[in-house]
Amino acid sequence: MSPSLAQLYAENRLLVFGHRGAKDDAPMNTLPAFELALQQGADGVELDVQLTKDGYPVIVHDFTIDHTTNGSGQVADKTLAELRELDAGSWFGEAFRGTRIPTLDEVFEAVGQHLIINVEIKSKSLKSTGCEQVVANRIAQFSLQSRVLVSSFDPLALRRFCRIMPEVPIGFLYAETSPRWLSILMLGFKYEARHPHYSMVDADFMTNAKTHGYHVHTWTVNDIEEARKMRDLGVEILITDRPGVIRQALYG
């Protein structure tokens, strides 16, 4: 088993995570993308999870399947069996024809012992779909509490997850365009990491974050010079579509 998240933090270097896997080189959020990120030397991967109509956690970024499969419609309106029939790879390239939408279980089985996994809970409602409980159940099932962190743009989803599994670190995702009221909902809630878009990160941002005891993980950094800038500022996790290229540029 590779090092835990805490052990990697202790190495005091910029960790490189593949954004939805090695997204530049394989269809996003698929097993080939996650396995390729591992081959390229990534420390971890980021992925997006939401529930099917029958309650299974699947790895899809959009709330619809139109963009990354040969199907159409809402993920939440499809059963796992229906999603399994879809081709989630040929849109990216003929070599990936027949690639399927993976479940969270399959990703944990494939790379959970080798990579840190940033599980982003997708949410578009103030009410829970039950995703937080399902994700917690899967983390416990695979004993990955020390090898995952859970993030979301939705403060309510993060609060719900933390009540269920407080031992797993939380990352709050946001960008300059995020509504101010989302940040207000995080007030009074103890969480471990800030996940800003890289354009928001400068020396003042880092000073403020460190003063308040937050780790800083940023996305989506694909430019080599920008990656080096994030390293020099003291960012701890960098999420990129190009984990192989960025890791080589940072560490040779």
Q: Which amino acid is at 92?
A: F
Say which of 19, 195, 215, 217 is annotated catalytic. Answer: 19
Say which of 61, 114, 215, 217 is annotated catalytic. Answer: 61
Signed CA dihedral, 132, 211, 201, 19: sign only: negative
The phi, psi pair for 225, rounded to 5°, reads: -65, -35
Q: Is-catalytic flag, 215?
A: no
Distant-in-sequence, close-in-space partners of 251: CB < 8 Å, separation ≥ 6: none
E strand or H helix at 174? strand 170-174
Contact 64, 72 (CB under 8 A): yes
Instruction: State the angle between helix axes of 243-251 and 224-233 in degrees (0 to 180), rounded to the nearest 10.
Output: 60
Signed CA dihedral, 55, 192, 171, 175: sign only: positive
Q: Is-catalytic flag, 114?
A: no
**CA quadruple 55, 61, 62, 63: dihedral, nearest 10:** 20
d(CA 131, CA 207): 34
- Active site amino acids: 19, 61
